[in-house]
Structure 1
Amino acid sequence: MASKFHLKKAKDGQFHFNLLAGNGEIILTSEMYKAKDSALNGIESVKKNSAREGAFEIKTSSNDKHYFVLKATNGQVVGQSQMYTTAASCKNGVESVQKNAPGAVLNDES
């Protein structure tokens, strides 16, 4: 199965997307967007920035779990990962986004 961006419309009318790896696992989640076009721009930003050096920032939460954010060139966060128990597994998540995002197809469920 190929990697995919799943674009969805929330109950409040806003849009968001998830990037799924080939195995169906969610590897990146977006913020909420008021307009569908903005969410589509967010997907393009993930595709473009996932290959950019320095675009990922690995962080540690207050409960010592690890996660990463993907930032656009303007510093805005365009996606965030799930929580990982180890820094190594978090790094693997970054690598998965770098590998899967550029060629991911859009599955519009909005």
Structure 2
Amino acid sequence: MSKFEIFTDNTGKYSFRLRARNGEIIATGQVYTSKAGCLKGIESVKKNAPLAKVVEIKNALK
């Protein structure tokens, strides 16, 4: 089963990553100052991802 992992960096800020069943990281979250904020970010992904469109952006790095 896929899972969200919450972790802290060396400054004590929170982030999350989403791992697929095979253990590969398939998404990462931004950095949050609180665990509560990180949990809200996870809930937002859970809520909004099924509705997200797929769009192609050409030359995004320019």
Q: Distance in 2 between matches of 1:66 and 1:86?
A: 6
Q: Which amino acid in 1 is paired with 2:51?
A: G
TM-score, L = length of structure 2: 0.87
User: Sequence identity of aligned pairs in percent?
Assistant: 41
Q: 5+ unaligned residues in a row in structure 1: which ranges?
A: 1-51
Structure 2 unpaired stretches of 5+: none
Q: After TM superposition, which residue ranges in structure 1, 4 or more long, deviate above 2 angstroms?
A: none
Please list the CA deviations of residues 61-89 of structure 1 after superposition, one character each: whole Å capped at 9, or x if unmatched.
11100000001110100111110000000
Structure number with higher relative contact order (C-alpha < 8 Å, ≥ 6 residues apart): 1
CA distance in 2, matches of 1:103, 1:73: 22
TM-score by length of 1: 0.50
* Inter-partner Cα distance in structure 2 for 1:85 and 1:109: 30
**Residues 4-49 of structure 1: per-residue CA shift (max 9 Å, x gap):** xxxxxxxxxxxxxxxxxxxxxxxxxxxxxxxxxxxxxxxxxxxxxx
- Residue identity opposite 2:23 in structure 1: G
The aligned residue for residue 82 of structure 1 is 30
- In the alignment, the residues of structure 2 paired with residue 71 and residue 96 of structure 1 have an alpha-carbon distance, to the nearest angstrom, of 16
SS in 2 for 1:101: helix
